Amino acid sequence: MFYKINIGGLEGNRTPDKGFADPCLTTWRPGRVPKGQLILYHQHDTLYTSGMSVSTISNNNSNKLSNIILYVLAIAGIGLVIYFGTEVLKNLDNLKGKAALTVDVLNTEADVSLNGEKVGTTPYSNKEIAPGENKITISAGGRTYETTIDFIPNDKKYIHTVGIFRDLGISDMFSSGQLFWFEKEKSDNVIRILSEPSDAMVFIDNSEVDNTPYSSDKLSEGEYDLRVEFPGYESQTARINIKKGYTLNISMKLFPVPVPSKVRAFEGSDNLYDLSSDNVNVVSDTQSWASAVYYWNKTRGISIADLGVNKEPLFDYFLDFKGNIFDNEGNIVENKDDYKNFKDVDKGAYLGRMSDGAGLTPEAKTTLQTFQTAAGIGGKKAKVIETGTGWLRVRDIAGLNGTEIARVNVGTDYPVLEETTGWVKIRVSDTVEGWVSADYVEVTE
């Protein structure tokens, strides 16, 4: 996947390798990118990115740049990767006294508004932002992220860009992102890091330094690898550039991982998978949890034991510890009469609390039995055996006095709804249920 991040106006359209960027700088052509490598091509003020690790290619026809702002938004394993620094240009005459903004969003295109007025769509960049407090709003698919930042003006040496990178996800809980902004140094600190959740572990150049909230005056000028981790959440990393005289502020929102690292079916079941969690934030809203599993499945992939990582939708329904049923996208199924619409389902997932112990809760067991019976999955089956006529009468009540309402063929299987002495109630179709003689069916689990 390619991401295009503009950080300013274009001054030309030459490309050193048309395999990576179209000459008009608006469309993509797949290039020969080594697997797992990120190529960044600097075409004046345009960056083209794809992959994971970082390299820089300069255009001989443009002014040489040092400490270029590189914002990289990509999923590498399970982590949001961003390369962030300060930009130094030889000519700031047209940008002096202004500020800059770059916004991008994962997995969708979003509207960007500045102080309540729509200014574009992601990926978005603007080097002519008025300094001072500005409100930035990002909206897509009913999801909105909003923040107010104090932009500082460019000076004779640096362009100070606010960087906002989000995965809007499906809710405030199940979302993530990174926010970068600069302040003119008023203390000795050169970096400050906040995170949600707080108390996350901070690693700089792969060494654990402290937990969030974190600040430091110990870092010298230069580039560093930053990683923020919290158990049960998707880690995030950034390549940052420290400059004396300025504080780099970083706010990171981590995405709660809604599934185990490897998903397994319950013992004795081939189609009900255990997604139980001990994260109180995850289990607090099971409908959001179900929707988050669906979203994670599409955007990150889910690893099922012996099947590997799969980004195709895996689960046809969700069952939670309270006994609720949700469809494959996480919408609650409130009417039990709608259970019959799930007759063709294959795999289900259980949203349980580890604090409840192994297996299903009593509420979940009761719902699952009702659901499977109504949908005709699992549970008992009645197979029609030889009758001498090739068919068997289905009656409206259990007994020979019952009225014939249908006929079923020998050799076919039907879900068992109920049993009584000498008679078995079966589901013939979505609209027909009735009783057949127990003498002419074979009931199996």
pLDDT in tens, 294-350: 999 999 999 987 677 888 999 999 999 999 999 999 999 999 989 988 987 889 999
Work out the percent of the chain whose per-residue pLDDT is above 70.
78
Q: What is the pLDDT of residue 85?
A: 55
Strand partners, 408: 392
Question: What does the pLDDT read at residue 260?
Answer: 94
Burial class (CB in 10 A: 0-12, 13-18, 19+), 434: buried
pLDDT for residue 119: 97
Look up residue 77 and give its amino acid: G
Are the C-beta atoms of residues 52 and 37 closer than 8 Å to each other? yes
Average pLDDT over residues 129-137: 95
Give the Cα separation of 275 and 256 in Å (integer).
13
Phi-psi region of 247 (alpha: psi -120 to 50; beta: other; left: phi over 0): beta
Confidence at residue 66, expressed as pLDDT on a 0 to 100 scale = 29
> Which residue, 97, 91, 101, 149, is CA-closest to 122?
101
Q: What is the pLDDT of residue 42?
A: 25
- Residue 38 CB neighbour total at 10 angstroms: 20
Q: Residue 24 has what DSSP assignment? A: T
79-83, 203-207, 220-224, range with the lowest pLDDT:
79-83
Report d(CA 256, CA 254) in Å as an integer. Answer: 6
**Residue 27: pLDDT above 50?**
no
- Res 445: pLDDT: 72
Full-prediction pTM beyond 0.85? no
Better pLDDT: 164 or 3: 164
Q: Alpha-carbon distance 74 to 62, whole Å?
A: 27
Strands (E), 245-331: 246-253, 264-265, 272-274, 302-304, 308-310, 317-320, 325-327
Helix (H) or strand (E) holding 292: helix 286-299
- Asked whether the predicted pLDDT for residue 405 surpasses 60, the reply is yes
CATH of 381-444, one of 3.30.1380.10, 1.10.540.10, 2.30.30.40, 2.40.50.1020: 2.30.30.40
Q: Quick one: pLDDT band at residue 51, thresholds 50, 70, 90?
A: very low
The mean pLDDT of 224-248, rounded to a whole number, is 91
CB atoms within 10 A of CB 428: 17
> For position 93, what pLDDT does the model report?
56
Report the DSSP beta bridge partners of residue 145.
138
Nearest to 61 by CA among 126, 115, 13, 110: 13
pLDDT number for residue 243: 83
For the chain, give every residue range classified as CATH 2.30.30.40. 381-444
More confident residue, 24 or 275: 275
Which range, of 47-56, 92-101, 151-160, 376-385, averages the lowest pLDDT? Answer: 47-56
Contact 348, 316 (CB under 8 A): yes
Q: Please, which pLDDT band fits residue 207 given cuts at 50, 70 and 90? A: very high
Residue 13 has pLDDT above 90, yes or no: no
Lowest-confidence range among 24-28, 89-93, 100-104, 338-342? 24-28
Q: Which residue has the higher pLDDT, 123 or 308?
A: 123
Q: Which helix (H) or strand (E) holds 350?
A: strand 348-351
Of the ranges 26-40, 138-152, 154-168, 313-327, which one carries the lowest mean pLDDT score? 26-40
Query: How many C-beta neighbours within 10 Å does residue 6 have?
Result: 19
Angle at CA 9, nearest 5°, toward 7 and 13?
A: 105
Range 56-76 average pLDDT: 30
- The C-alpha atoms of residue 359 and residue 114 are separated, in whole angstroms, by 50
